[in-house]
Structure 1
């Protein structure tokens, strides 16, 4: 196995592992297993191998996976910095390492010293950033990282800034969604697309939080529809940026319907599955938007090839 395969292998392993951490983190939140190990960290209720309760197994499994993925990412970090001549890969692996350590520390602090819902929501946000960086790192070693031969990235300033601002805005929408979960506000809006039978409900308590998240998601759809149309007018269909914009639009539509699934499944066995699907889709959407941002940044520099060109 040559060095290039090692780099690619550990990059993809860290990306898949970080994705698993996101899913397991959402499972911990939705099953209210965050206190499954009590106030102990890194031990679980004072033991290396915890008692076999559902809460402790879910929480400790999450911690175990974070530890394993952390080791995989550390190996990828060392390999990239020692043997890769790709500056973009070094930036991405460094960003992934930073946010992985940050989310692990925040998770530990949340166990030892209970945090507010607003702080706990950051935990998912930091995990999402770590996943996005590992996704970008893995794409470096695919055709999406080397670009199309002879492709020209030429975007207007308005579209470039649109990509950056929409990506930032999507992070705010994701944070608000995590805040809904951590404040247990999901029941604030019964029914979909109406909220409690009204187009504009009484904005108090959990209803205000959930309704704000719905409005944020709707606006994100409008912005991504505009972005896709703008990029389509300036890019060929085979361009990576065009394909990324198309998938971003598809994912935000799917995400909206998965949110409806979450609302309509409350009180049923399918609620947990719907919630995890919602987290998976938003993770993929944010990763695609980060990829779009890198492409837009390359266009701003006037590069003749797509992101990651050698």
Structure 2
């Protein structure tokens, strides 16, 4: 009986591990559409009520988008909390599961509070950028939680053994670990600046492919902001290329990092292409959604690499990890 209950609990965890990251991604995308279409006040400056009602008696487009977004946030929050609880119950002896469960649930709560405060008191560009940054961390945490559980199942025969095997058997060099975490920090700051630019309205003045062509007379000093934005993007590309070159040296021992670096490079190139499309389409909604979706995927990949370069927790390491020696 106890075995059957444990099996069912793990099956539920498996289902939630797939549904929850998808749900968080959809909520984040819906939130972007909500903001960009000017629907954030579709329910007025009220929360949790919508136009003085729990369920509006009439809907226009803005009310439908805002009310739908609120409903999705509630549904996904239930999914995420359930996933965190089931993950903790079934795999909580792994420190990664405990930490990621707390981060994912905590940041989704913060994200919901920021959304409510934005409705009640307004959304300045800095608050919108912060909201975007928090939503990305929530998505990355729940995605990594799903990945870690998959790793545990592969390394411990569905997590039923009491022997805690290492998930990362070959430790990377300190220089590589520092490079990955620097890229993570750089990307997060770059995304915050990009979100601030988008929410401030300055991006509407961006022009010129590939070299910026704005005038200093345009609003928001668009030329300098655009130069900064493009310079940051170029710097990110160089950092990702550096990771690809370094990962190639030990691709046989750590194929996870080699494949991760290739995925990061692919998404970086797609992000640059999406940025060009964004300018060429005069900041169309489709281009903005594409730009946001690609950078979300890129952030997820870099977060995965940051997780994979961490040393094995001493509390459960049964064997000494070998330091990785790059191939020449």
User: Taking structure 2 as the reference length, what is the TM-score of the superposition?
Assistant: 0.84
Q: CA deviation at 1:178?
A: 0.8
Indicate whether 1:128 and 2:136 are aligned: yes
Per-residue CA deviation, residues 254-302 of structure 1 (Å, 9 max, x unaligned), is: 10101111110117xxx21111011111001001101100111137987
Matching residue within 70, 74, 97 for 1:67: 74
Q: Which residue of 1 aligns with 2:13?
A: 7
Matching residue within 54, 60, 69 for 1:48: 54
In 1: Cα distance, 2:278 partner to 2:153 partner: 35
Per-residue CA deviation, residues 196-218 of structure 1 (Å, 9 max, x unaligned), is: 269x9999523333332221111
Contact 2:108/2:138 (<8 A) preserved? yes
Answer 1 or 2: higher relative contact order, Cα 8 Å, separation at least 6: 1
Alpha-carbon distance change, 246 to 183 in structure 1, aligned in 2, over 3 angstroms: same
Q: CA deviation at 1:121?
A: 0.8
In 2: Cα distance, 1:150 partner to 1:305 partner: 14
Alpha-carbon distance change, 157 to 145 in structure 1, aligned in 2, over 3 angstroms: farther
Matching residue within 103, 123, 126 for 1:118: 126
Contact 1:155/1:300 (<8 A) preserved? no
Secondary structure of 1:127's aligned partner: helix
Alpha-carbon distance change, 150 to 140 in structure 1, aligned in 2, over 3 angstroms: closer
Q: Which residue of 2 aligns with 1:180?
A: 197
Per-residue CA deviation, residues 143-190 of structure 1 (Å, 9 max, x unaligned), is: 598579997424221111010111011001111111112111112221
Between the two proteins, the alignment pairs up a number of residues equal to: 302
Matching residue within 283, 287, 290 for 1:274: 287
Give the number of the structure whose alpha-carbon radius of gyration is greater: 2
Per-residue CA deviation, residues 5-56 of structure 1 (Å, 9 max, x unaligned), is: 2112112211111111111111112212112121001111212223311111
Matching residue within 74, 86, 91 for 1:79: 86
Q: Which residue of 2 aligns with 1:286?
A: 299
In 2: Cα distance, 1:277 partner to 1:32 partner: 18
In 2: Cα distance, 1:127 partner to 1:141 partner: 21
Q: Which residue of 1 aligns with 2:161?
A: none
Alpha-carbon distance change, 150 to 284 in structure 1, aligned in 2, over 3 angstroms: closer
In 2: Cα distance, 1:5 partner to 1:66 partner: 24
> Map of 1:221-300 to 2, 5 A cutoff?
221-236=237-252, 239-266=255-282, 271-298=284-311
Alpha-carbon distance change, 150 to 43 in structure 1, aligned in 2, over 3 angstroms: closer
Q: CA deviation at 1:118?
A: 0.9
User: Taking structure 1 as the reference length, what is the TM-score of the superposition?
Assistant: 0.89
Q: CA deviation at 1:83?
A: 2.8
Per-residue CA deviation, residues 213-244 of structure 1 (Å, 9 max, x unaligned), is: 22111110111001110111133287111111
Structure 2 unaligned spans of 5+: 1-6, 156-164, 315-319
**Cα RMSD between the aligned structures?**
2.8
Runs of 4+ in 1 over 3 A off after TM superposition: 143-152, 200-204, 299-306
Secondary structure of 1:141's aligned partner: helix
Structure 1 unaligned spans of 5+: none
In 1: Cα distance, 2:39 partner to 2:264 partner: 32
